[in-house]
Structure 1
């Protein structure tokens, strides 16, 4: 086991390179830390999953990457290099030229994303014309082509419709089409199927995967669903209380998790419990940003915690094929493997 400074890949030509990113929220009496020195890289065309419970910092990470944080949230320190350009230091006008154009985001609820008083065609055409020198007819033609790419039937008719006239699945397909309108190099998808019926979720995720692969688009998928991550991504970051606590290839993390928190997430999956038995769960809750415990933030919920865990924050180290922030990784049992062999 060797020490390593952060959760990076060591690549020199990354599409996205995040270093020691710290995000804070200004409160009335003090500030709280929502992201605590997170670092990672994303290669061109790579698919990266970010997983964890609610409050882990997943969505804040996505908003910070796009520099979409609004007060009282702010980037306190660190860098976000997108194609070599620091997103944290750009003006609003410079960011507008990047967002939607070279970097796009898909949000949880399409009804919040789409403007209810504008037709689909108006929203797509105006997006294109804001970033490209196109006539309205050319913008409409591109919009129709993108709707066909996401398998929207009768795309010419859909352009004339308003969001409320379409189903949830159709609206999310349109959101994906809008995200791909300007051929971005990176898409950040924040729980893109949460608001959809479970029968439609798999189709949407399969579509997103297909489009990212065919267009060689980098993808950051933010989700709490490890099953989706296992099917969609090549690498995974596991977050807890604003820190990355395990990182590596998705297959390695799913099959042989090293951090006790990751093991708990895997063990809590329904397929890990025999029929008729109670589902497993991690005891306790994610700590509040205003009450993060000293030492390892997971220590109050961890069955392996020792005195050192309660006073000293663990730094990431390489262990087997992953990087993990845990003092006791050398002596941990592998609950997942034991359950599967039982």
Structure 2
């Protein structure tokens, strides 16, 4: 049984102009210790998927269908009190900006000790010992002294290391990381991702990495899910999806990476923009931007085609896979 099994998840946002569907029947699973990437442009539904797993959707957002089974329990059926026993305990989350996560008026040590005592019946001394140990694991120098520091006294990279240490405090079985390096300098991003990868391996923790960067996904994750307009358009083993992408959208994302173009030439880009939730095209939602579009693509939404474990939502998937598509 998978550690986390999300099946046919639907997330809606009711508005005065109608109901907007942010996620429309997406499914994915994470095994114990496995690392899964969820990628796509802004507006694809990546962060909504992460918040739905933790039941952190902002009202009036709601889970309107599907199931989220974690460690054998459907999280969509839990009460608020039961969910608090899961969130921050069995499932931890790392957000984009550490300054939005850490309390600016409390020391690092106070925040870490309070987090532990909220989920464990332990003494202050034991909580402090565990906190110092976790700070050491994320390569923070003099961790015992850093316990007395305030967030503003640390660099952005150091703050994100603290956030990772807090995520590991309760020994969760799953960490959800939502664009964890977006707010950091490029030189620091690789260090943080390498650190997260090493810690997930050493602690046997499952990871869901939310990002727009397929280059990061290829280095960190074992499987990947590509979202577009709230639907899964491609998923499978990361190495297979990255080296042999089939869906035109996945191919466009990979072609847009800086290293894919000629030196000095303009970067490749996917023409057009992600559709807004109240104006999703009929048929395949990617059809207005697709270079391989047919009339049938505008008529009906294609199902996910299973290409030997590599799932692709495109009526021309088999042609594209074999290179026969014009």
State TM-score, norm by structure 2.
Answer: 0.97
Partners of 2:125 and 2:103 lie apart in 1 by: 21
Give 1:128's aligned residue: 116
Provide Cα deviations, 1:250-304, integer angstroms capped at 9, x if missing partner.
0001101000000111111111112122211100000001111111000000011
CA contact (8 A) 1:258 1:334 kept: no
1:174 aligns with 2:162: yes
1:317 to partner: Cα distance:
1.0
1:184 aligns with 2:166: no
Partners of 1:292 and 1:88 lie apart in 2 by: 27
Give 1:54's aligned residue: 42
Partners of 2:149 and 2:137 lie apart in 1 by: 18
Give 2:181's aligned residue: 193
Provide Cα deviations, 1:64-104, integer angstroms capped at 9, x if missing partner.
00111121210001000001111111111101111111000
1:125 to partner: Cα distance:
0.3
1:320 to partner: Cα distance:
4.7
CA contact (8 A) 2:283 2:299 kept: yes
Structure 2 CA distance for partners of 1:81 and 1:333, relative to 1, 3 Å: closer
Give 1:79's aligned residue: 67
Give 1:69's aligned residue: 57
**Structure 2 unpaired stretches of 5+:** none
1:247-286 pair list within 5 angstroms = 247-286=235-274
Partners of 1:116 and 1:277 lie apart in 2 by: 44
Give 1:319's aligned residue: 307
CA contact (8 A) 2:39 2:225 kept: yes
Give 2:102's aligned residue: 114
CA contact (8 A) 2:50 2:176 kept: yes
Give 1:163's aligned residue: 151
**Structure 1 unpaired stretches of 5+:** 1-12, 336-342
Partners of 1:205 and 1:142 lie apart in 2 by: 23
Give 1:149's aligned residue: 137
SS in 1 for 2:318: coil
CA contact (8 A) 1:252 1:321 kept: no
1:240 aligns with 2:203: no
Provide Cα deviations, 1:94-121, integer angstroms capped at 9, x if missing partner.
0111111100000000000001111111
Structure 2 CA distance for partners of 1:139 and 1:243, relative to 1, 3 Å: same
Partners of 1:334 and 1:53 lie apart in 2 by: 26
Give 1:5's aligned residue: none
Partners of 1:16 and 1:320 lie apart in 2 by: 22
Partners of 1:205 and 1:151 lie apart in 2 by: 13
Provide Cα deviations, 1:221-270, integer angstroms capped at 9, x if missing partner.
00011110000000000000000100000000110100000011111111
Give 2:281's aligned residue: 293
CA contact (8 A) 1:256 1:334 kept: no
CA contact (8 A) 2:305 2:317 kept: no
* Structure 1 residue runs of 4 or more that deviate by more than 3 Å after TM superposition: none
Of the candidates 19, 22, 29, which is equivalent to residue 10 of structure 2?
A: 22
> What is the aligned residue count?
323
1:321 to partner: Cα distance:
4.8
CA contact (8 A) 2:224 2:241 kept: yes
Partners of 1:227 and 1:332 lie apart in 2 by: 22
When the two chains are superposed, the root-mean-square deviation of aligned CA atoms in Å is 1.1
1:334 to partner: Cα distance:
7.4
Give 1:338's aligned residue: none
CA contact (8 A) 1:38 1:244 kept: yes
